[in-house]
Amino acid sequence: MLDSQTILIASALLLLLLAWKFRRLLVFFWHKGVLQFMKDFMSGMSKEERILDWVKQHAVVGDPQSVVDAMDVYSRQKEWSMHVGDIKGVIVDKVMEEVKPQILLELGTYCGYSAVRMAHLLPPGGHLFTIEFNESFATIAQQVIEVAGLRDKISILKGPSQEIIPQLKKKYEINSVDMVFLDHWKSRYLPDTKLLEENGIIRKGTVLLADNVICPGAPDFLEYVRNSKRYECTTYPVENIRVNDALEKAVFLG
């Protein structure tokens, strides 16, 4: 028979082993659950409201670059944020400069970081439509866009992408788009790409730019565009961040 001391030591070792095995999950829970809850409780604001508050305090009204810079500083120094960020942002800027889209569609607005970053680079007369299904994120993003002075260049379309895409032509009078930035939930990349094709929103030459194709990853989307004769693909691996990731550019050939 095992004595109680042996059982206690064995249980402690088992707990340590489990903690080590699930350490990433525990760190995630600590940050997302415990720390986030404490910050929300103490500030009386959500993380996204704190980001907006920071932008209002640190950005210059009417200066989009100062808004982008303020959000970069916040996520680097205060709290991680799920926006595209300054490292991948450089790749997004590069593709924007190459494509020079007049009409740009974004899937996944969050607080408006990438919307401001991209709309700032649109040519005169260009417009960005960005789809967001979370009402409170959309409200925060609208205010961030106001601070950036880009209200006339960006329209937030509120609702799930799978419902909005089929309405783009009739309800929003968008015939086709020059570029699409996919940055919403990764499981929607492939079905929404097919919806964009079926509804004639993408045309010969439209550029799809998809973030996070490795982490968290969109394997079905990658397999589809890379194996299709209708797309010409380029991968932009991302270095200098803790996890390996990449953006995928897929030019629709019609």
Ligand X SMILES: C[S@@+](CC[C@H](N)C(=O)[O-])C[C@H]1O[C@@H](n2cnc3c(N)ncnc32)[C@H](O)[C@@H]1O
Binding residues for substrate: 186, 212, 239
Q: Which of 48, 72, 183, 248 does the annotation list as catalytic?
A: 183
Evaluate whether 160 touches 133 at the Cβ level (below 8 Å): yes
Cβ distance to ligand X smaller for residue 101 or 108: 108
Taking CB under 6 A as the rule, does residue 110 contact ligand X?
A: yes
Q: Which of 72, 88, 212, 245 does the annotation list as catalytic?
A: 212
Taking CB under 6 A as the rule, does residue 245 contact ligand X?
A: no
Burial status of residue 146 (CB atoms within 10 A of its CB: 0-12, 13-18, 19 or more): middle
Q: Which residues contact 30 (CB under 8 A, 6 or more apart)?
A: none
Evaluate whether 250 touches 231 at the Cβ level (below 8 Å): yes
86 counts as catalytic: no
Q: Which residues are annotated as a binding site?
A: 84, 114, 132, 159-162, 183, 186, 211-212, 239
Taking CB under 6 A as the rule, does residue 120 contact ligand X?
A: no
- In the region spanning residues 80 to 99, those forming contacts with ligand X, defined by CB under 6 A, are 82-84
In whole angstroms, the minimum distance from the beta carbon of 51 to ligand X comes to: 10
Residue nearest to ligand X (CB): 108
Cβ distance to ligand X smaller for residue 10 or 82: 82
